[in-house]
Amino acid sequence: MATLLQQQGGILNRFFYINKKNMKDTTLKQKLKNKENTIGSWITIPHQAIIDILAEAGFDWLTIDLEHTSIDYNELQILIGFIQSHNMAALVRVSKNEEVVIKRALDAGADGIIVPMICSAEEAKMAVEFAKYPPVGKRGVGLNRAQRYGYNFEGYKEWVDKHLVVIAQIEHIDGVKNIDAIISTPGIDGIIIGPYDLSGSLGIPGQYNEPVVQQALKKVEQICNDRKFSMGYHVIDPKIELVKEKNAAGYNFIAFSTDFFFMGRKASEEMSKI
């Protein structure tokens, strides 16, 4: 797949050196700070066509999932470029809260990261430190696509300070219990609920509409809304009424379904009519 993507990706060469400050993605951090509404989706299929199609729909950002997919690092870097070429922010849901994993995603040129299973302020602080250069963080300095292969490290370093997005994914009941401390962590720009794992942590995986899960969500909603802190939710089913429901509850950073759900659900619905 990487070879196929590389063959398709020659057009990206001219995008590698675009100044990030002139792109739409630089506004995402500010929108999160202002608790403005943004909507994105989830990339699990590593192909240019998926991004081209979703870009036509008008999403603000797309997240490439490295936790639950077979997407490799070469594919990741090419997908980031495709997303940015459509003037959308390219986020990466990394596989875990680990230094090298986060560093590689950011060095590939991602505009931000979503870090899974953040359960405490200490873990949130670790994520920020892995993403930011000293003296703020502990990120090692290397030269890759993000730094324009060494031609603009100083510019990129400034961009990281001003525009890099770090999202803590709350998907365990411990994260809910510690939500106030997590969102108080300097460098965390927002949170996003992972409903499947959150329900799993309560012993009922996939049953995220059960009262015990909804009660946990109410706690997150109350604290984030009171603090005017950006909160997100991954709406799995591709139904607009669910997006409206979450937006009405105060969620302003909404991931709307996934590439395969959009395709699969629509195909199933139409075939059922036939």
Q: Which residues are catalytic?
A: 68
Which stretches within the chain are classed as H helix? 2-8, 28-33, 48-57, 73-85, 99-107, 121-131, 153-163, 173-177, 179-183, 195-201, 211-227, 240-248, 259-273
Q: CA 58, 63, 64: angle at the middle one, nearest 5?
A: 125
Tell me how far CA of residue 154 lies from CA of 16, 51, 75, 231, in angstroms.
Answer: 16, 30, 26, 31
Cis (ω within 30 of 0) for the bond into 135?
yes
Burial class (CB in 10 A: 0-12, 13-18, 19+), 273: exposed
At which residue do the structure tokens 């994993």 appear? 101
Tell me how far CA of residue 210 lies from CA of 43, 47, 200, 250, in angstroms.
Answer: 27, 36, 12, 20
Question: Which tokens is 119 given?
Answer: 């359960």
In this structure, which amino acid lies at residue 158? E
**235 in Cβ contact with 216 (< 8 Å):** no
Cα–Cα distance measured from residue 64 to residue 131, given in angstroms and rounded to the nearest whole number: 17
Q: Tell me the torsion sign for CA atoms 180, 186, 190, 191.
A: negative
